[in-house]
Amino acid sequence: MRLSISLSEKSADLRQEKGLAQIRVYLQSKRTVEALRLTTQLSMKEKDDVQLHLPLGALLVSEKQYKAAQLELEKANVLQPGTFDTF
């Protein structure tokens, strides 16, 4: 079990949190185009990070951006099958 987290991992986590927060602000401000642009950038930059795709998908669902949410949740499921149940 690894107890320490590297500085670069902490930095990446903070960037992701800031990105998710900014996407939420854009969506709540009805700035959908900017939100989806940032979603795409963040998703492409961290394409192998299931811990990004899941909350990103959940955020998009909560803001009724279903098509973009489905894409993020599918990416998460490909990276880690069984991550969430499908209906």
Token duo for residue 39: 């979603």
Reading the block at residue 20, the tokens are 């998710």
- pTM value is 0.70
Domain that holds residue 65: 13-79
pLDDT the model gives residue 66: 95
Encoding tokens for residue 58? 């959940």
pLDDT number for residue 25: 94
- Which mean pLDDT values do the consecutive 10-residue runs of the chain (87 residues) have? 56 80 91 90 88 87 92 92 66
The domain tally of the chain equals: 1
Question: Would you say residue 46 lies in a domain?
Answer: yes
How long is the chain?
Answer: 87
Position 2 scores a pLDDT of: 52
Is residue 3 included in any domain, yes or no? no
Instruction: Say whether 83 sits in a helix, a strand or coil.
Output: coil
8, part of any domain:
no
Nearest to 53, CA basis, from 78, 34, 28: 78
Q: Is residue 42 part of a domain?
A: yes
